[in-house]
Structures are given as C-alpha cells and as structure tokens.
Amino acid sequence: MKWMCRLAVLVLVVLTTGESRATEVDYARDIKPIFTEHCYKCHGPDKQTHSLRLDQRAFVLAGGDSGDPAVLPGKPNASHLIQLVTSTDPKQRMPRKAAPLSDRQIELLKQWIASGAPMPGDDTMQYKRTTDEWSFSALTHPKPPRVDAELNNPIDAFVVAKLNDKSLSLSPQADRRVLIRRLYLVMLGLPPTPEQVDAFVADPSPNAYEKLVDQTLASPRYGERWAQHWLDVVRYADTHGFEMNQPRNDAFAYRDWVIKALNEDMPYDRFVFDQLAGDSVGVDAATGFLVAGPWDQVKGADPKLRIQQRANELHDIVSVTGESLLGLTVGCARCHNHKFDPILQKDYYSIKAVFEGVQHGSRPIQLPEAERERRQRLSKQVDQQIASVEREIDMNGGNDGEINARRNVDRFEPIVADTVRFTIFVTNNGAQPCLDELEVFSCPPADGAPKNVALAGAGAKATASSLLPGYKIHQVEHLNDGLLGNEHSWIANEAGAGWAQIELPNPVLIDRVVWGRDREGRYEDRIPTSYAIEVAGPDGQWRTVASSPDRKPGRFMVDVTPEQAERIKQLRDRKKQLQQRLDKLNQRATVYAGRFEQPKPTHRLYRGDPMAEREIVAPDVISLLGSLNLPPDAPEQQRRIDFAKWVIDPANPLTARVMVNRIWQHHFGAGLVNTPSDFGRNGSPPSHPRLLDWLAGEFIRSGWSIKHMHRLILTSRTFQQLTKPDDKALAVDRGARLLWRYPSRRLEAEAIRDSMLSVAGVLDLSAGGPGFSLFKPNENYVRVYEPKTQWGPGEFRRMVYAKKVRMEGGPVFGAFDCPDAGQSQPKRPRSTTAIQALNLFNSTFTMTVAQRLADRIVAEAGNSTEARIDYAFRLVDTRQPTAEERRIARQLVADQGLPALARVLLNTNEFLFIP
C-alpha cells in the first residue's frame, strides 16, 4: 500500500507542475541572474523613469513603458514579462539586444510568477515616477535682480540681467507714433486713427503712455483681439469637420463668452474652472471648450468602429485639455507611458475618466432673468396677435387649415387633461412620421401668457408607439425637450403611422396643441396629414378633441368675396410672420457646449486599443502631481469639478507658468518657452527661467488677473524698445531671444483684414451673436465650401465673428497661416509665399476695400491731390509721407487713380507689420 500512496503523490506532482514546482524557485539564485544578464542589457538597472526596473517588487508590479504590470502574481501566461520573452516578433521580443532566453529560463520565470513572484520589496511600497524636469518643480518666486536704479519694472530687471551676461543692453525707446501703433496692433488688432495718434503725441503728461495702456485694456476691441489667440489653442470652429463638415449654428455662444470674460478681466482660475465645469455654476456656454474640436457625426455600422470613434473623441478632449491648460502632451501616453515626460499611461486614462461622460452636442442655455421676462412678455403679446388674426380669418369666411412642416396649431374647447395623445394615420410621403416638438398649452390666465406644459423640464413624460432605430438625433425624448429642428425630433418605426403621447405631471386645463415636422423648415417629408388628437382626463376616459378633418383645407376659398379672399391672404401672411416670431421667442436658446451623462467604467487600454481593456481606473490627475482620490464610479460632474480645482490650485506648478507664457508670446511674438503647449522634455527650455517663475508668481498674487499681466509687460522698457538691429547684438543673439530689441513681425490674418476695413472706414464693430460667412450658401448634406468673391457690409465685421469652417483656411486670408481648427494651434507659423502677395494685391476683397479707402480719402481730405496723399499715409501708416514718397504717390495717382495708391499702401510692410 505504501508504494501505491507514493505513486499517487508522484502523479499528483506531475499533474500540478506549475504550482508545486514553482515553490522550488528561488529569486536570488534563479531569477535575479536572468534579470542581471539579459534584461539590463536592454535598459540598464538605473533607468527609473522610462524603462522597466526588475530589481524591486514595486517596479515589477508597476511595469514599464507599455503601461502593463510586468508580472501578475499567480498568472504567468497573462503576465506582460512572459509575453515579451516568448514573443516571436523581433520588434517586441525581449531582450532586444541579446539572444532569446532559453526554454529553461522561461520556465523558471513562469514558475516564479506562479508562486506569487516573491522578491525584495513589498506590495505596500508605491511606485511613483520621479523627474528633474523644470516645469514639474514648484515655483521658485525669485526676487528681481538689482541691475539699474532707473528700471522700476521688475520685468526689465530680469531681462537686463540676462543681457548683461552677454554684454548686451536694451535698445533705445521707440517714439510715440511707433508706440501707439505697436500698442494698438498688439492689444486691439487695429491701427490707431490719425486723431488718436495726434492726441497721444501732443499729450504733455509724464504718464501719457500709461493712460493709453489703460484705455486700450478698457476697449471692447481688446477681448475680440485676444479671444482669437485662445480660440486657436482650443481649436474652435463653427462646423464639425470630417467629411460632412456640417455647421454648429449655436457654437458662437462659447466664442462670445470668451470675449466677454477677457473684456471683464475674469480671473484666470475662474476662466479655467468655468470651461471645465461651468455647468455646475450656471455658466453653460463656457464648457464649449470641451467640445470645441472636430466631431465625426457619421457613426459606423460596425460596433468596433463606433467604439474607436468614441475613443478618438475623448482623446481629443484629453489632449487639448493637457496642452492648453497644463502645457503637456498628455495625449502621447495613450498607448504607453510617455516616452519623455513623467506621465504614465494610467494617468492618461485617469484623465480620460474625468471626461468620460462628456458627449458632443448642444444643450439649453440659461437666459438671464431679465431676458426671460422680456421673452415671456413679448410671447404673450404675439400670441394675442395670432389669436386676433385667426378670429379675423374666421370672420371673413376662412379657415386657416393647411398643414405645413414648420408649425401647426390645433385649438379646441378647454378641457382638463392628464395625458395627450397624437395619433398619425397617414403621412404626406408614406414614410415613418416625424414630430419635431409636441407642445401642449394651458389656457392662459387673464393676466398671463399660455404656457407649454408638455416640457420634460416641467415634469412631463413622453412615450411613443415605436422609434426608428439607429439615429441619436431622432429620439422619443426629443418630443418634449424644448429643442427645435430635425436634429431634435422623433421618428416612428411604422410606415405612415404611429402615435406620440405626453403624460402631464398634473391635471391642467388646456385649449391647444402645437406641432410640426421641422420647426426650422428644412425638411418637408414625413408630415402627418391624417391624424387625431385625444385627451385623457382624471377619469381616465379618452376623448378626441381635434383631428385633421377639422382643419378643412381650402375652405376659405368657398363662398367668399374677392375682397375677403384677398384679406384672408394678407392675414395668412401676417400670421406666418407672427408664428415665426413666436417660434423664435419660445425656442430655448442652446449652445454647443456638450452634454453630460454618468459614464460607464473607464479601463486602461493595452496599446490604446479599445478592444484590449485592462484594469478599471478612477478619474484622477497626473500621479506625479497629486490625486483626486475619487472612486471609479464618482458622479460625472464631480469629476470635472475636482479636476478643475486641481488645475487652478496655486500649488500646481504648470497652470500659471503656461498662461503667463502665452500672454508673453503674443506681446513679443514668441514665448519665454518657445513651445507654448509643450513644457515637457521635448519642448524648449525657457529663455528666462527666473523671469518666467516671477511672472507666474505675480499672476497668482494679482488674483489671476490677465490685464494686470498685460499692464506689467506693456509698461516695461523691454516692450517699448526700438526694433532697429545692431550688428554687435546680432552676432550674439540673431533671433533677439534675449530681447535686446523689440521683435517686429507680420500681423496675423485676422488683424490684417480687420485693419484694412478699419482704415477704409467700413469696419462693422457689431459684437457677438451668430457669425457671418466667408463662403457661398450651401445646404448640401456633405458640405462643400466655396469662397465668396463679392464683398459688402454683410462681411465687414471683425474676422473673429466669421463662421470658422473646419479644415478650410478661408478665402484670401487663409493663405496667411490661418489655422484650420483640425487641431490645437498654440503658435501660428509665419510663412512668406507668392499666393499671399497675389491674394493681398489682386483679390476682389482688396479691390473692394481699396475703393472704399479711396472714397473715404476723397470725402475727408478735400480736393487737393497733395492733401489726399498725405491723408492716405496718415490713415494707413499713421505718419506723413516723405518727399520722395509724395512724389511717387503723385505720379501713381495721376496714372492709375487714388484706388491704386490705396491698394499699394495696404500691401506695404509698414502696414502689415507690428513696428
């Protein structure tokens, strides 16, 4: 019997080789030599930051650049280390610079992992990346150096100290004509008028320049100018992009919010918070930041493709958030740990979890109370006017019964209703019926307006007989969401039939139902032409209160006099106008600022593949810089609130540095860090690190005031220098990175266009609201944007108010390095091409503006050719012409006319460049 027991034990050992033999493996004897001999040949044992360390348990459990743990204790075949050493792909197999491990060595590794991977260190030790990158270190708050008693601005002290190290000095101060032009172009994007130049030049007060700075910062043109810089960074556009590139007609509210915030000097910490979580404080438009990028609205039929599309949407949000607010290329950690910066792949997915509940789309915007009251008052008046028109139609023998796609009203005797049902029997084209919005109105009190009691926001619930599958824009909840248009409608899944029902929160006395197929009037198919409206009261009994036969189309043409028929026609036209006005008043204002929903769990994805889910990650921040300590199922809004608070925490070393660098960049043409959205190892180091830290600290101390930083920079001697080159300085610092002179540069496309319109006297300074288009009208399903070739007052607003078409540069000025909003553009390139010269000299836009400028000169300068030439130079270049310029201009006007001179001046470097 003993030998049988021994045999059974032996068989058991053979059948359980993985578990029992694994206990015989010793780390020091069997495993460490493998790591020492082979794995360190790839990485080296001391590369903590960007490689896989295998000498401490914490590092093994954390893993390397792939983001996967090197080993999963007890699971050898699932462990990344085993997958690497057994791979047949030479690009993946480890070790890469040595012969493959032997079968015996691989078996030892498997046994060791199966036994729990015992080795030095313990599970409580947390692996955390370390870094010596300057941007991750705390602000140093340096004191300005003492270099010159006459320099009162700390900025100058830091700049001069750097110059002294190279035996250089600041250039002389520019004269007042140059200063005012520089100031206006940098801060307002518009040139000063001759009157403004003369007033500044003649101002005898010692603080004349400081007063001028304050005036420019108080101008509403400032917000328009500087908003463009921010919109470049956040890749704002008024279309979706991709192949359809359809418009976002309500995106402009975000653009207007940015302009208003800058003009009001909203503290930057609040500016950031509102863009990340403004919905939590009633600032709806601000979260347009999150969804300002491109969106692929055509979803693939393949579920895997849709998952990939969603992953790409969130990647865009994560990447732009990291670049714009933190100056970090967080998106580079999507597939693996960041190759250069201390950002783990897990960090990427933790930030993705913060935004997992953000969906592209529009949502209602909260109107100010005064505006709501105004709309209610006007709505009541218009409704009364419509009722009066309808009564007069009846009195004249008419019945306004024609069904239309936009808006139809079915009135009936007042009745108490719990539920209202709209049943469709036939549609105009036999297709599944569509309803845009189903409104049920209570009887108006004597001193009030009728109220739509069917809104979901008021507690009403919509149901339907069926739903056409596969279309997010056609949903049952769109029946009463208060949003109008085909993109917020319901379509049944029954050919020519179906029903929609509104269950009211409480019984209410009603007297009409208003409905339409498409309130925007773009679609005229699927219109119900045979229907019935039923009401169920508190007794539960259904009663038909209106139906399509009651409308009696065409009856108004029977037994009426010609005078009555004409009057009815006029009344119907009047009613149509009133209904359109009422629709506009009652339409809930929306903004393309995202929709939010509680998200599903977020997984880390192996190599960024949405089909290769790994562990669940909680919403969090870059682990090197802290933690939100939120659970994986934290409420959606709370994730963004806590993330925003972490971003704007004064202890965060990145936020203030990144923003003051952007401010500096647009004063001098380049930031102290020349890669404004990459403060990592792959970016440029700061040219003046101590100045950058002092500015960041001052920014926080000022209460995050952007205008305070402007004022500091603008009043510095560094900003007020001449641009004149110096041979000695050029030999040392050709690019003027040390700021021994003011760096002149060409204006951006928007400032060139706006300045041309301004000097011509035709610039329309209307602010806010829907933008104007630079392209011909186009209603194609797949939009094709053809540039306009004729220009008039409708296109003469500032270019920041032009509808930004994604992936299109725009006519004429798109050639001047305009970003296409396909991705973030923190720094525009400055190219010089033949097409720029041709566009600016020969385009119909330039021809039109040159003629308007010539007309202005004639009207304001009198009949003298000399006076007209002088005035042209004063308008365009803010100075008088030289004698030689006057002679050449006189000959040009005599040969080609005044518009030719205007066109020449608009093409000079003096007009196109910041002096």
CB 727 within 8 A of CB 291: no
pLDDT at 47: 41
pLDDT at 373: 83
Name the residue among 317, 266, 258 with its Cα closest to residue 292. Answer: 317
Name the residue among 260, 261, 259, 264 with its Cα closest to residue 272. Answer: 261
Considering only residues 76 and 287, tell me which one the structure prediction assigns the higher pLDDT.
Answer: 287
Count of other CB atoms within 10 angstroms of residue 494: 15
pLDDT at 55: 62
pLDDT of 68 > 80? The answer is no
Looking at the DSSP bridge assignments, the partners of residue 775 are: 787
What distance lies between CA 550 and its chain's CA centroid? 49
- Phi and psi at 670, nearest 5°, equal -150, 145
- Count Cβ neighbours within 10 Å for each residue of 49-80 and write b for 16 or more, e otherwise: bbbbbbbbbbbbbbbbbbbbbbbbbeebeebb
pLDDT in tens, 789-824: 999 999 999 999 999 999 998 899 999 999 999 999
Quick one: CA torsion of 13, 14, 20, 23, rounded to 10 degrees?
120
Q: What is the mean pLDDT of residues 686-704?
A: 98
Percent of the chain with pLDDT over 70: 91
Is residue 815 exposed (0-12), middle (13-18) or buried (19+ Cβ within 10 Å)? buried
Quick one: CA torsion of 749, 755, 760, 764, rounded to 10 degrees?
90
Tokens of 914: 């910041």
pLDDT in tens, 309-334: 999 999 999 999 999 999 999 999 99
Phi-psi region of 858 (alpha: psi -120 to 50; beta: other; left: phi over 0): alpha
pLDDT at 59: 65
What interhelical angle do 176-187 and 706-714 show, nearest 10?
160
What interhelical angle do 345-354 and 303-321 show, nearest 10?
100
pLDDT in tens, 610-669: 999 999 999 999 999 999 999 999 999 999 999 999 999 999 999 999 999 999 999 999
pLDDT at 725: 93
Distance CA 821, CA 1 (A): 83
CB 269 within 8 A of CB 648: yes
Count of other CB atoms within 10 angstroms of residue 444: 15
- Phi and psi at 68, nearest 5°, equal -80, 145
Residues 6+ apart with CB under 8 A from 124: none
Tokens of 403: 């069904």
Q: pLDDT band for position 51 (50/70/90)?
A: very low
Q: What is the 3-state secondary structure (H, E, C) of 334-375?
A: CCCCCCCCCCCHHHHHHHHHHCCCEECCCEECCCCHHHHHHH
Cis peptide before 95 (omega within 30 of 0): yes
Distance CA 883, CA 434 (A): 73
Tokens of 195: 């009157």
Q: pLDDT band for position 18 (50/70/90)?
A: very low
pLDDT at 7: 37
Tallying the residues shown for the chain, one arrives at 915
pLDDT at 114: 86
CB 121 within 8 A of CB 53: no
Q: What is the mean pLDDT of residues 394-405?
A: 66
Q: What is the mean pLDDT of residues 61-72?
A: 71
Distance CA 583, CA 485 (A): 11
pLDDT at 229: 98
Q: pLDDT band for position 41 (50/70/90)?
A: very low
pTM score of the predicted model? 0.77
Q: pLDDT band for position 845 (50/70/90)?
A: very high
Q: Which of 46-50, 603-607, 718-722, 784-788 has the lowest mean pLDDT?
A: 46-50
Distance CA 350, CA 314 (A): 12
pLDDT of 12 > 50? The answer is no
Q: What is the mean pLDDT of residues 579-588?
A: 81
Percent of the chain with pLDDT over 90: 70
Is residue 110 exposed (0-12), middle (13-18) or buried (19+ Cβ within 10 Å)? buried
Name the residue among 430, 626, 440 with its Cα closest to residue 534. Answer: 440
pLDDT in tens, 736-776: 999 999 999 999 999 999 999 999 999 999 999 999 999 99
Residue whose pair of structure tokens reads 């001759």 in the numeric block: 194
pLDDT at 22: 41
Q: pLDDT band for position 19 (50/70/90)?
A: very low
CB 632 within 8 A of CB 117: no
Q: pLDDT band for position 6 (50/70/90)?
A: very low
Name the residue among 392, 365, 398, 237 with its Cα closest to residue 819. Answer: 237
Listed ranges 4-8, 11-15, 267-271; the one with the highest mean pLDDT = 267-271
Tokens of 845: 């836009």
Q: pLDDT band for position 567 (50/70/90)?
A: confident
Count of other CB atoms within 10 angstroms of residue 88: 7
pLDDT of 609 > 50? The answer is yes
Distance CA 824, CA 845 (A): 28
pLDDT in tens, 588-597: 789 999 999 9
pLDDT of 17 > 50? The answer is no
Distance CA 908, CA 747 (A): 12
What distance lies between CA 896 and its chain's CA centroid? 47
What is the Cα gyration radius of the chain?
Answer: 35
Q: Is 465 helix (H, G, I), strand (E, B) or coil?
A: coil
CB 545 within 8 A of CB 370: no
Considering only residues 10 and 717, tell me which one the structure prediction assigns the higher pLDDT.
Answer: 717
Average pLDDT over the chain, rounded to an integer:
89
**Strands 602-605 and 363-364, bridge-based pairing:** unpaired
pLDDT at 549: 86
- Taking the domains of the chain in order of start, what are their residue ranges? 9-132, 225-356+599-732, 399-555, 844-914
Q: What angle do CA 658, 664, 669 make, to 5 degrees?
A: 115
pLDDT in tens, 512-559: 898 999 987 789 899 999 999 999 999 999 999 999 888 754 443 345
Considering only residues 254 and 108, tell me which one the structure prediction assigns the higher pLDDT.
Answer: 254
pLDDT at 396: 65
Q: pLDDT band for position 283 (50/70/90)?
A: very high
DSSP letter, residue 368: P
pLDDT at 601: 97
pLDDT at 728: 93
DSSP letter, residue 654: T
What distance lies between CA 656 and its chain's CA centroid? 20
Query: What separation in angstroms does the CA of 735 have from each of 256, 352, 670?
Result: 36, 39, 10
Q: Which of 12-16, 123-127, 846-850 has the lowest mean pLDDT?
A: 12-16
CB 594 within 8 A of CB 360: yes
Q: pLDDT band for position 81 (50/70/90)?
A: confident
pLDDT in tens, 269-282: 999 999 999 999 99
pLDDT at 581: 87
No. of H helices and E strands in the chain?
30, 16
Kindly tell me the sign of the dihedral angle through the C-alpha atoms of 4, 10, 16, 20. positive
Q: How far apart are the first and last CA of the chain?
A: 105
Amino acid at 118: P
Q: What is the mean pLDDT of residues 600-619?
A: 95
pLDDT at 446: 60
Q: Is 515 helix (H, G, I), strand (E, B) or coil?
A: strand
